[in-house]
A and B are shown apart, each in its own frame.
Chain A
Amino acid sequence: MKNINDKKQLLVSAIESGTVIDHIPASSLFKVIKILGLDRIRNQITFGTNLESKTSGKKAIIKIAGKFFEDDDIDRIALVAPKAKLNIIRDYQVIEKRVVEVPDTINAIAKCMNPKCITNFEKVTTHFRVVSKKPVALKCLYCEKITDQERLEII
């Protein structure tokens, strides 16, 4: 019979099926949670943050049991976690790996940096066309001003 410590280890380290998102900058963890709406779903989720990363500073990791994302959904996190890597798990096995890519349009998650834009005055869902992917530059569909990486804020 397994002891209690084994069980604990098992819960944190592996999921039977679902999605593992790795290489999230630690500072972006909660933004990723918000963008993917993980704070509103009932799936089992574990996350770790401020973990050592071989490639870049402190990283975070999220494991979501029983959840698989559409490409369009997951690409939205590219704004805050451009180096994120996904492992799609079935039966404890990684059946697919993928990286995220900045999509061509960004809807509802970014804030327009222009204080005189209508989206900052009324309840308007923001819409942007991505005019540059690296570094990210978004053109507001409404005021037509550019929001760049530095001034990018997630709603």
Chain B
Amino acid sequence: MKSRSLVSIDDLTTEEILKILTLAAEFEKNPVQDILRGKVVATLFFEPSTRTRLSFESAVNKLGGKVIGFTDSSNSSVAKGESLNDTIRTVNNYVDLIVMRHPIEGSARYASEIATVPVINAGDGANQHPTQTLLDLYSIQKTQGTLDNLNICMVGDLKYGRTVHSLLMAMSRWKTSFHFVAPEELKMPDEQKLYLRNLGLDYHETTDLNEVINMADIVYMTRVQRERFSDPMEYEKVKNAYVLHDYMLSDTKPEMRILHPLPRVNEISTDVDGNTKAYYFEQALNGVYTRQAIICLLLGLK
């Protein structure tokens, strides 16, 4: 029988998303259990992503499962020219579940068609990274007590940021007001804005973070990368405009929290780290509980 995979956040119904969040909360209370004893999970990282891989491996280890895999395709059979099809067919024989990160878009969907065990997409190029979106939703729900009627402020690279696009699509299932803060060159694409308009959801665009930060419930920061700019002068002009400092938080809502998919470079000043509103490291920890929930759900163990 074909098993259930998680490739794209759109594969899940809203009820399923909420079920994952409820399960994640249970794992947060009781993260060390023996549910995965005797189970083997493959982490196939065709491109490196230390944080995501460690988070998955921690999730499995805490539940008593074992992990096998590779961290970079240069030391796997892929370097010898093996096709993805053959790699997946082979690994499928060894494990109960596959976690895969791959630079080529659509590779996870393809792998899920080949494998008979569940496949979790841990990022396929610029396409999807659903477990990141689910851990973001978990962090939002946990800090705000709800997913409804929130002001979400997205800051930085909104054009190429896969994370913000997925979060936008996911949060549009609830009544959300979006605020997009980005330099001209990295604005939220029309496709996403059209999507929100069709759903009748509010959004507001600005280039100035100070204009909207005080009404935000969630400030979602992303990295503005130099290589995204066609004109390096443009980058120099805007690079400091999208950096969050502690002094900017003084008039923000008391329950406001700052999220960031990490790694951070300089877009959140380290003086913010001590503020109770800084939530990005807890957010990373939430990733472990969320992934425990997803793995157990796909394996039919919860």
Contact = CB atoms under 8 A, between A and B. Distances in A.
Interface string A101-138: 00000000000101011110111100000000000000
B8 A116 contact: no
Residue of B106, B110, B124 most packed against chain A (CB within 10 A): B106
Contacts of A114: 105
A interface: dominant SS: loop
Interface residues of A, number: 16
A75 B246 CA distance: 61
Contacts of A142: 105-107, 109-110
B interface: dominant SS: loop
Interface string B211-232: 0000000000000000000000
A141 B125 CA distance: 15
Given A122-B110, A143-B127, A116 B84 contact: no
B128 interface: yes
Nearest to B107: A118
B125 A122 contact: no
B126 interface: yes
B146 interface: no
A117 B108 CA distance: 11
A75 B189 CA distance: 33
Nearest to B128: A144
Given A116-B125, A122-B85, A145 B110 contact: no
Contacts of B124: 118, 143
A60 interface: no
Interface of B: 8, 83-85, 103-107, 109-110, 124-128
16 contacts: A112-B106, A117-B106, A118-B84, A118-B104, A118-B107, A118-B109, A118-B124, A121-B84, A122-B83, A122-B84, A123-B85, A142-B105, A143-B105, A143-B124, A144-B8, A144-B128
